[in-house]
Structure 1
């Protein structure tokens, strides 16, 4: 032990930011357990490490009592006064009982404690780094796949992509790079657990922020997103600057910007919609790529009847109702779609 321990702890304090005093207190606590395990003669002990030279001292502690019931923990007043006449009832008498070969055990215990505390400190640093990155995108390498769970190497730690956060039919290959969205960072006994997603609408939002400078700079704003991961996403965008076309900014020259996002999402279709504070206009836009003849709004029920040309009905509703479903989710309005002829027939009735 000696000065080597203190020098090592001082170095750790500088490099890892772990308090030397905290480590010394932790080592002292661990040494008590080690002492009791190896030397059963005295069970009520105090162990101190000299802050100047690193020497370890073990003291047995006994309470002064009138009648001794347990000799391991108590001493009679009569015997105590033989040691020092000034002792009174309830005083604690300490006697050094440091074993000759305790230095080796102390050094081993100190090493174990220091290694454990370093590990804990490093985990804490990683947790603090990633807990502040919740709702952000991270890029990592697929490390392994086990029981449907994809483990992604992020460098300092790994992220977990659970089956319910995976895009259906998307193939995950060991060694390939992948972008995911951090859903939650949990603190566990084994270190931080980082849960990520490929299905979260936030992934699309963050990809657009990375790809479109106008969104990153706040010129273009993403107002809402509705997504059925792996199939289709609708995103509503708005610009307060009349000189900036929000849809055009997101699409990019020859569709390059949106194509990069589609490629990252393995071919997921993306409809970019111009947001409007006018519900009729917004709902009409939300049913893109379908054309809309008329939108009848019911403010009280927050519902809308949308009239489309007959040949556009199936496009407006979409396969298995997907286009209408995503439009309703995007706008927050209940949407009922009718063809022009259906609407005219209902008027006649």
Structure 2
């Protein structure tokens, strides 16, 4: 009994689960070694460890199977209270049951412990979807990276790995739990390094103002391993949302950049006004004017000629991320192009953004 208590504490399993497993194991051992057809019940004293096996028989008028049935006349010899249809329990604990039961019950108990451990691990992680975990790279097999989480392993699939990022054994990494499956081999935790939610969770861990709710992350756009944009907002005007995320001398955002292996991160101020938000999202490029079409979620942005390439970004990356961040289609023109071709009739008149050309933007990448 003491051994069971210790085992339960070591494995994190309730001792009652182990007792139930032993009950079933003893019953299985009795059936296997004495009578496979017998219905039996095992009674195990939780204090002393003393056990008894009882054969369960149905009281019938005429016995056709003596293993599972007993006649009414025989039952009433034991007690006058028995009637047809009742069940009678008769003790049949074998004299040499201890050695046989131990041999046959061991595997049943071990299996019960495994199943209980799997259940505990599954319940621990199933409610942690979209939560961040820290683990140690254990091995790399068939392009899958197996991450040791302590009690179980997580799998970082090829599609969830950052391009050009290498993973070596004993590397410590952070990842986002995207799915938890309960398979025949136990719980399977699937994690990601490319999910936009990872960037959001890293900022929540790093920035106290986000944890407290003073600063809110409104949207995230990410091209894993290359560049990301994140829009933040503080309802209190006295709180600098962008500055809070940047941290003293850029320390907070730099920790996240280091974790993501030098992924460039742009932090912009969110605005309920789509014109201002689009202008902010295209930073570090300076925006001259924005025209929007609400019905089609389409915007036409004009930037200075010398900043056109900066606004579009390498291979269109800056414009693409800004579109993901805002949820608007963005068409970027230089001032000379705007003068030459004009605006579409579908769009509204351009809105001057000089008042929005603020310095409330941070980028860890150089222009």
State TM-score, norm by structure 2.
0.81
Deviations 1:58-86 (A, max 9, x none): 33333233343333323344555566666
**Structure 2 CA distance for partners of 1:272 and 1:146, relative to 1, 3 Å:** same
How is 1:78-157 mapped onto 2 (pairs within 5 angstroms)? 80=75, 87-108=82-103, 111-157=106-152
- Aligned partner of 2:337 in structure 1 is 342
- The CA distance in 2 between the partners of 1:22 and 1:167, in whole Å, is 42
Deviations 1:114-158 (A, max 9, x none): 544444444444444434543332222110011111111122322
SS across alignment from 1:305: strand
State TM-score, norm by structure 1.
0.85
- Aligned partner of 1:255 in structure 2 is 250
**Structure 2 CA distance for partners of 1:163 and 1:41, relative to 1, 3 Å:** closer
- Aligned partner of 1:296 in structure 2 is 291
Q: Is 1:149–1:160's contact at 8 Å kept on the other side of the alignment?
A: yes
Residue 220 of structure 1: how far off its partner (Å): 2.7
User: Tell me, which stretches of 5 or more residues in structure 1 are unaligned?
Assistant: 1-5
Aligned alpha-carbon RMSD (Å) = 3.0
**Structure 2 CA distance for partners of 1:92 and 1:149, relative to 1, 3 Å:** same
**Structure 2 CA distance for partners of 1:293 and 1:188, relative to 1, 3 Å:** same
SS across alignment from 1:256: helix
**Structure 2 CA distance for partners of 1:105 and 1:263, relative to 1, 3 Å:** same
**Structure 2 CA distance for partners of 1:61 and 1:206, relative to 1, 3 Å:** closer
**Structure 2 CA distance for partners of 1:186 and 1:42, relative to 1, 3 Å:** closer
Deviations 1:238-259 (A, max 9, x none): 2334344322333334433323
- The CA distance in 1 between the partners of 2:216 and 2:222, in whole Å, is 18
Deviations 1:232-275 (A, max 9, x none): 10111223343443223333344333233222211211111111
Q: Is 1:56–1:103's contact at 8 Å kept on the other side of the alignment?
A: no
Residue 323 of structure 1: how far off its partner (Å): 1.8
Runs of 4+ in structure 1 over 6 Å off: 13-17
1:310 is aligned to 2:315: no
1:169 is aligned to 2:164: yes
Residue 21 of structure 1: how far off its partner (Å): 4.7
- Aligned partner of 1:233 in structure 2 is 228
**Structure 2 CA distance for partners of 1:26 and 1:118, relative to 1, 3 Å:** closer
Q: How many residues align?
A: 344
SS across alignment from 2:342: helix
Residue 31 of structure 1: how far off its partner (Å): 1.8
How is 1:195-274 mapped onto 2 (pairs within 5 angstroms)? 195-274=190-269
**Structure 2 CA distance for partners of 1:247 and 1:96, relative to 1, 3 Å:** closer
- Aligned partner of 1:277 in structure 2 is 272
Q: Is 2:155–2:189's contact at 8 Å kept on the other side of the alignment?
A: yes
Picking from 57, 60, 71, the partner of 2:66 is 71
Deviations 1:275-328 (A, max 9, x none): 122211110111122221110122222221111223333332233332222111
- Aligned partner of 1:54 in structure 2 is 49
**Structure 2 CA distance for partners of 1:24 and 1:309, relative to 1, 3 Å:** same
